[in-house]
Amino acid sequence: MAARTLINVPQKAKRGDVIQIKTLISHIMETGFRRDNVGALVPRDIITSFTCTYNGETIFDAELHQAIAANPFITFHTVATESGTIAFRWTGDHGFLQEASAKITVE
Amino acid sequence: MSALPRRAALVLAIALAGGALPGAAGEIPLNERRSAYEDMSRDNKAMQDDDTSNPGMLAVLDGEALWSAKAGASGKSCADCHGDAKASMKGVAARYPAFNDSAGRPVDLEQRINLSREQDQKSAPFAYESKDMLALSAYVATQSRGEPIAPSDDPRLAPFIDKGRALFNLRQGQLNLSCAQCHDDNWGKHLAGNTVPQAHPTGYPIYRLEWQSLGSLQRRLRNCIIGMRAETYAYGAPEYVDMELYLMWRARGMKMETPAVRP
């Protein structure tokens, strides 16, 4: 099953407002350190990077490592500058790629 | 002393012991019951309350897709028979486990889903704790969010509630503990830094931060049984279903929270 994402971006904001953005994505974040019940190492399978762009400009990015729990929840703030699209991109091991976006109207 | 009074004394002693069983004396008064939600940190409460922060909602989205996915030789989806789950499944999880005629005993929500898969969809049952079973049961149970837990008053359930109560009060394992000793007698106190909850199954399947995943009530029961250092039952065992039934009866009237978040 494809990854699921849940995005919380305010639909409307006043120009100059500080807005909170919340993102949640389904991912097992397998550390690569655990062994299965026959003793074999379970291969690492994690999200390694997250990027948020606001009308194409990167406003937030993060590197993720093994210590991040499953289903990473990333939340941050930005200033509402103009109407448009806030886009999210997660990439990871084994070619993992997931994208999502949300529209915002700034008045 | 003649034999007769001695026997009478023995009967009296047994009657007294019976009367002092925790099941009769220790049950939490209805108005003192509280969900373990109340004991959570502000952050964990916020995580559960916001559908875009609650990681259980990721599985609910998967469950919503499964609800309308055709499965098995019948080529039917859940939705083909049950329609919109928001209407047809509202309150359903709040009254499970329920008596099932073909099984001749109560079945829990997971078993009921598998009965539909096998008998109606002609499809393979989902394994307990599989991603699909958790997703579909979470989707169905989320339709009861905010509804009061309402166990059926079917009289055929009574002996199974009694069995569940007996298991809840059974001292077992190397620690010789019963569920009731913690959850009836010592709730609100601390065990290894955690508040001992009253153990009301208001939000299953729950997203447990410790598990980093969703898990069923049976998984949670196994957790405690392992903690008592007793032997677990296999998933789907009648003992678990009887305990689930007793716990739902014990939590009757409390509000469903599925998908709940717990530390």
A106 at the B interface (CB within 8 A)? no
Q: Which residue has the higher pLDDT, B39 or A1?
A: B39
Q: Using a CB-CB distance cutoff of 8 angstroms, which residues of chain A are in contact with residue B209? A: 69
Beta bridge partners of A90: A50, A98
The answer to whether A70 contacts B50, with C-beta atoms less than 8 Å apart, is no
Query: What pLDDT does residue B24 have?
Result: 42
Query: What pLDDT does residue B192 have?
Result: 86
In this predicted structure, the answer to whether residue B15 has a pLDDT above a threshold of 80 is no
Query: What pLDDT does residue B38 have?
Result: 94
Q: How far is CA B17 from CA B12, B159, B172, in A?
A: 9, 21, 18
Instruction: Lay out the sheet containing A84-92: strands in order across.
Output: A12-13, A96-106, A84-92, A47-54, A57-63
Question: At B241, is the pLDDT very low, low, confident or very high (cuts 50, 70, 90)?
Answer: very high
A31 at the B interface (CB within 8 A)? no
Query: What pLDDT does residue B19 have?
Result: 40
Instruction: Give the total number of structural domains in chain A.
Output: 1
A87 at the B interface (CB within 8 A)? no
The answer to whether B55 contacts A7, with C-beta atoms less than 8 Å apart, is no
Residue in A1, A8, A24 nearest the CB of B55? A24
A70 at the B interface (CB within 8 A)? yes
Task: Write out pLDDT tens, residues A44-87.
Answer: 999 999 999 999 999 999 999 999 999 999 999 999 999 999 99
In angstroms, the separation between the Cα of residue B13 and the nearest Cα of chain A is 50
Task: Write out pLDDT tens, residues B157-216.
Answer: 999 999 999 999 999 999 999 999 999 999 999 988 889 999 999 999 999 999 999 999
ipTM at complex level: 0.91
Query: What pLDDT does residue B10 have?
Result: 43
The answer to whether B53 contacts A4, with C-beta atoms less than 8 Å apart, is no
- Locate the domains of chain B by residue range: 31-262
Q: Using a CB-CB distance cutoff of 8 angstroms, which residues of chain B are in contact with residue A7? A: 52
- Over residues B107-113, the mean pLDDT reads 97
Residue in A8, A29, A71 nearest the CB of B52? A8
The answer to whether B52 contacts A4, with C-beta atoms less than 8 Å apart, is no
Q: State how far the Cα of B83 lies from the Cα of B215, in Å rounded to an integer.
A: 26
Q: Residue A32 is part of a domain; what is its CATH number?
A: 2.60.40.10
pTM score: 0.89
Q: Domain B31-262 adopts which CATH fold?
A: Cytochrome Bc1 Complex; Chain D, domain 2 (1.10.760)
In this predicted structure, the answer to whether residue B25 has a pLDDT above a threshold of 80 is no
8-state DSSP, B157:
G
Mean pLDDT score of chain B? 91
Q: State how far the Cα of B173 lies from the Cα of B12, in Å rounded to an integer.
A: 29
In this predicted structure, the answer to whether residue B13 has a pLDDT above a threshold of 70 is no
- Over residues B97-117, the mean pLDDT reads 96
Q: State how far the Cα of A6 lies from the Cα of A21, in Å rounded to an integer.
A: 11
Domain that holds residue A50: 5-106
In this predicted structure, the answer to whether residue A1 has a pLDDT above a threshold of 90 is no
Question: At B26, is the pLDDT very low, low, confident or very high (cuts 50, 70, 90)?
Answer: confident
